Structure 1
Amino acid sequence: MPGLKHGRYSGYIRPISYLIDLSIINGLGVFYFFKYIDPLLFITFFTLAWLVLSFPSKFYEVYRYTREVTILSLIIRQLVLFTLIVFAFSGLFTDLDIKPNRVFKYVFTAFFLIAGFKFALYYLLQKYRTAFGGNYRRTVIFGENKKTRALEDFFNKNPEYGYIYKKTFSFSDKKHVDLDAYFKYIKEEDIDEIYCAISELSNSQISDVVDFADNNLKILKFLPDNKEIYSKKLKYEYYDYIPILSLRNIPLEDSINLVIKRSFDILFSSMVIIFILSWLTPIIAILIKLESKGPVFFKQSRNGFNYKEFDCYKFRSMMPNKDAHLQQATKDDMRVTKVGRFIRKTSIDELPQFFNVLFGDMSVVGPRPHMVSHTNMYAKKIDKFMVRHFVKPGITGLAQTSGFRGEVETDKDIIGRVKFDIFYIENWSIFLDLKIIYKTFINAIKGEEKAY
């Protein structure tokens, strides 16, 4: 599977921005109001207030193509809202006797520093892309018209945005368009993003490009026209004054969401390892060893985020056999031991995967990873199967709690999994993760028909 790697926004820029801004707000607050406040109360209140303000106002949604005027408008809006919060705080605690001029001095000083940092980071990243060629994405354009030529000029004249324009493919002679050759070029040149002029392609060509992008982990964006496109939630963005539509919006590409999910994974997996696996592992190990010879843990290569292989761990539930890495467990499988049947039925065999979560190869919730041999097979025969690798695989997932757990008996089973996995990827939230974990726990207690 060549050509699977693609560029992403830095996962650290936004969390660092949060930390610096909160340090400025809280540090200056303690400095200006130290005589009047309880520092712990102040820091707690304003940290929560800042976070609550930032999400709906989209204060940290600044990308490589965002214009300076947009950043300035975000700062002004945040300034007004935060000023109201500060006055609300002083009104709530009337005994503080904080003068309005002190409030204004604090707010404007804080925002002067925050704005300075925000623009400094913005220009430093642009300089880094221009001078050192870092943090860039390789792009190609499908279709040639006035809009695509304007996009070419944008890429070529604005290296600070971090896009390396490689080629435009013409679709003027639709009868002689060789999409396979275009796709081969994209793989060989390690292209990250495809920009598609909808008006220049036929419906079948657009469908082929969408399928190629999905199955090869390429980011696909559209230059809109008056044609109808798939009934999806399209993300509308501007590169300068050029409108761009993104086919798939993945919440976990947002670095803040990644931090939230990773923090939850670390906390949850640590609790399971400390409070459950610490005492359960010796018991399961003794039972496994008493019944059959072989290791306590079963290790198997699986495909994870961006198709990267990793070692997935389970408690061994079968007699050691040469087909373990090729053949999935079936009903009344003779390879499964007596202890194995119990731990598979109760999902105890999956618990060592919390070490995979702690190590960063997996998440608590996500698309379930398959054996490498099966992944290669499904990638070739099941449309959009590769979309599952845009995020980390999970111990449990939406597909598993929606009736698609266990043995894949027909193509209908794997198609159903892919459908639910793509829905999860496009609609992730921490609340959805919690709901899936709850349903997984309930199903484990009740027992599931296909847990064999």
Structure 2
Amino acid sequence: MTVSNLDTGTQTAIRRQKRLLKNHESLTSLFQLAADVFVAATLLFLLTWIKLESFPPAYRVLTVIAAFSLWFIYSSRGVYRQSSSCLRGCIRLSGAWGILMLLLLLIGFVTKTSEIFSREILLIWAVSVLIFQNISFCIVSYLSKKYKESFGHHLPVIIVGTGSVAQHLVSSLNKNRWLPDKVIGCVRSLDNDDTVSVANVDVLGGLESIRELIKKHDIRRIYIALPMRASEQIEGVNIDLLDENVDVIWAPDIFALNLLNHSVREVAGVPLISLNESPLTSSKASMVLKDVMDRTIAAVALCMLAPLMLWVAYKVKRSSPGPVFFKQDRHGWDGKVIKVWKFRSMKLHDEAHGEVQQATKEDPRITDIGRLIRRTSIDELPQLINVLQGSMSLVGPRPHAVAHNNYYSDKINAYLARHRIKPGMTGLAQINGYRGETETIDKMEKRVEYDLSYINNWSLFLDVKILIKTPISLFSKEIY
């Protein structure tokens, strides 16, 4: 029985039995991972033996935890990604080792076992492992590079398409010394223009001449880089080349879409492309670390800033009749309405028809102390309580009033997508000058653009960077 005689359902079942998403790990990466685990375990054993003349059970447990954590963190952080330079690789490795150290400190704090270990041993171990791992990484990368230069071979490649994805592929493949792929040219799609070159390679012709080009240039691999609307052409190219001895790889052009934290994964053999997904659902472990960092820093900040907040509370109470705190309904994570705390900076007043009017320069509603705390953002400090409650984060898109969200949601594309993550006391938009009043639609669009960029590129390092830059940004723009 041939495949063509099988019914569609049977063919589908056969295809689903094979994984469509494969883990491509090189021997070099596996060797580097094994070497790093060996370095970490061996150095911990040697340092402990020199200091204690034994290797107690607690250090054995630490070795096992460190080895498994190293494997998981280094793999997830792409430490052994071989398309970049040795320097970038060392930077990634150092960052991943730093995350591992923070994780071990957190485990020691939670389990109250940190006192069991010698601080001298752990400090020397952390520094020495980092040094030896970087040396090992550079040596393996250098030897692998020399091997590929001496014994590697080029694989002639053609790219179908002349759009942005095709240009990116040409540039990336030809610059990547770790891949054998060598792009010799592009092929125009059926509905394309008369483009003659793409990213320093020639356009060799149209789809109608692809078989001739395969024979002429001994092509071994073809990348299809056509937009999703050209699905019929993509299917046609694949069917047409089934009897050719070439690899056919589809690079779907999904980047023309408005993506939010996009990713690719697999369920039961079916590849799933997440075009719009909350980081809170796609990376639970990272978000737990973010939540721990938020609440820890918020608790410490509240203790340190208590005298200042008490003084501000006293001045607010004396400034005009009304409560010390102002609680406003704002949209939080997944659009849920939360109560956001602030020091009251205005006199009590009624909003016309339920609207929320942003404060403006020389606004008569603002009190004297209110003007000071708004300009310095001290009025936002009570939101540390929101962070402790879990309704807000230290860093994230600033929460807007419900009325503002209702107004802008119909005027700005993907405006409400900023609610796919917890709102923050500060954010990427704020350190780039977009804080305070947004007088025009353009300014709010720019703020939303930064918020979506934060969601797409979120990391703990980015949070720390924003927190460090926030005090500096307070002087970059006068807030009313």
1:37 alignment partner, one of 35, 41, 55:
55
2:371 alignment partner, one of 341, 363, 380:
341
2:323 alignment partner, one of 284, 290, 295:
295
For 1:255, the aligned partner's letter is K
**2:350 aligns to what?**
322
Q: Quick check: which has more Rg, 1 or 2?
A: 2
| Paired residue secondary structure (1:310) | strand
Q: 1:275 to 1:234 in 2, by over 3 A?
A: closer
Q: What's the offset of the Cα at 1:312? A: 0.4
For 2:428, the aligned partner's letter is L
**1:127 aligns to what?**
none
- For 1:294 and 1:413, the matched residues in 2 are separated by 33
Does residue 283 of structure 1 match 2:311? yes
Deviations along 1:402-448, whole A, 9 cap, x unmatched?
1111111111111001111011001100110011111112223xx24
Q: 1:58 to 1:448 in 2, by over 3 A?
A: closer
1:24-103 correspondence to structure 2 within 5 Å: 37-58=55-76
**1:404 aligns to what?**
434
Q: What's the offset of the Cα at 1:44? A: 3.7
Q: What's the offset of the Cα at 1:226? A: 6.9
**2:299 aligns to what?**
270
Q: 1:251 to 1:51 in 2, by over 3 A?
A: farther
Does residue 230 of structure 1 match 2:255? yes
Q: 1:201 to 1:269 in 2, by over 3 A?
A: farther
Q: What's the offset of the Cα at 1:279? A: 1.9
**2:398 aligns to what?**
368
Q: Is the 8 A contact 2:396 2:451 kept in 1?
A: yes
- For 1:242 and 1:45, the matched residues in 2 are separated by 38
- For 1:53 and 1:250, the matched residues in 2 are separated by 26
**1:257 aligns to what?**
286
- For 1:48 and 1:422, the matched residues in 2 are separated by 35
Does residue 441 of structure 1 match 2:466? no
Q: Is the 8 A contact 1:250 1:427 kept in 2?
A: no
- For 1:317 and 1:372, the matched residues in 2 are separated by 19
For 2:321, the aligned partner's letter is K
- For 1:414 and 1:302, the matched residues in 2 are separated by 16
Does residue 355 of structure 1 match 2:385? yes
Q: Structure 2 length as normaliser, TM-score?
A: 0.50
> How many residue pairs were aligned?
264
**1:164 aligns to what?**
none
Q: Is the 8 A contact 2:436 2:479 kept in 1?
A: yes
Q: 1:234 to 1:437 in 2, by over 3 A?
A: closer
Q: 1:199 to 1:439 in 2, by over 3 A?
A: same
For 1:309, the aligned partner's letter is V
| Paired residue secondary structure (1:381) | coil
Deviations along 1:27-81, whole A, 9 cap, x unmatched?
xxxxxxxx9523443344443332221123359xxxxxxxxxxxxxxxxxxxxxx
Gaps of 5+ in 1: 1-34, 60-91, 94-196, 203-223
- Indicate the structure whose relative CO is greater, using CA pairs within 8 Å and at least 6 residues apart: 1
Q: State which drifts further: 338-347 or 41-50.
A: 41-50
Q: What's the offset of the Cα at 1:255? A: 0.7
Q: Structure 1 length as normaliser, TM-score?
A: 0.53
Q: What's the offset of the Cα at 1:290? A: 2.0
Q: Is the 8 A contact 2:432 2:473 kept in 1?
A: no
- For 2:332 and 2:350, the matched residues in 1 are separated by 23
Q: What's the offset of the Cα at 1:292? A: 1.2
- For 2:344 and 2:296, the matched residues in 1 are separated by 26
Q: Is the 8 A contact 1:398 1:421 kept in 2?
A: yes
Q: Is the 8 A contact 2:279 2:421 kept in 1?
A: no
- For 1:226 and 1:285, the matched residues in 2 are separated by 58
- For 2:469 and 2:342, the matched residues in 1 are separated by 21
Does residue 312 of structure 1 match 2:340? yes
1:156-235 correspondence to structure 2 within 5 Å: 198=228, 228-231=253-256, 234-235=262-263
- For 1:282 and 1:244, the matched residues in 2 are separated by 52
Q: What's the offset of the Cα at 1:246? A: 1.9
For 2:461, the aligned partner's letter is F
Q: Is the 8 A contact 1:297 1:315 kept in 2?
A: yes
| Paired residue secondary structure (2:264) | strand
Q: What's the offset of the Cα at 1:335? A: 0.8
Q: Is the 8 A contact 1:398 1:420 kept in 2?
A: yes
- For 1:419 and 1:367, the matched residues in 2 are separated by 10
Q: What's the offset of the Cα at 1:201? A: 8.8
Deviations along 1:69-104, whole A, 9 cap, x unmatched?
xxxxxxxxxxxxxxxxxxxxxxx99xxxxxxxxxxx
For 1:261, the aligned partner's letter is K
| Paired residue secondary structure (2:273) | strand
Q: What's the offset of the Cα at 1:225? A: 6.7
Q: What's the offset of the Cα at 1:245? A: 1.9
| Paired residue secondary structure (1:423) | helix
Q: What's the offset of the Cα at 1:333? A: 1.1
| Paired residue secondary structure (2:298) | helix
Q: 1:226 to 1:356 in 2, by over 3 A?
A: closer
Q: Is the 8 A contact 1:296 1:315 kept in 2?
A: yes
Gaps of 5+ in 2: 1-52, 78-120, 123-226, 233-248
Q: Is the 8 A contact 1:368 1:393 kept in 2?
A: yes
Q: Is the 8 A contact 1:305 1:392 kept in 2?
A: yes
Q: 1:255 to 1:229 in 2, by over 3 A?
A: closer
Q: 1:50 to 1:227 in 2, by over 3 A?
A: closer
Sequence identity percentage: 39
Q: What's the offset of the Cα at 1:449? A: 2.1
- For 2:60 and 2:279, the matched residues in 1 are separated by 32
Q: What's the offset of the Cα at 1:244? A: 2.6
Q: 1:296 to 1:448 in 2, by over 3 A?
A: farther
- For 2:330 and 2:304, the matched residues in 1 are separated by 27
Deviations along 1:348-383, whole A, 9 cap, x unmatched?
100000000100110000000100001111112111
- For 2:401 and 2:368, the matched residues in 1 are separated by 23
Q: What's the offset of the Cα at 1:386? A: 1.1
- For 2:317 and 2:265, the matched residues in 1 are separated by 58
Q: 1:47 to 1:314 in 2, by over 3 A?
A: same
Q: State which drifts further: 324-333 or 40-49.
A: 40-49
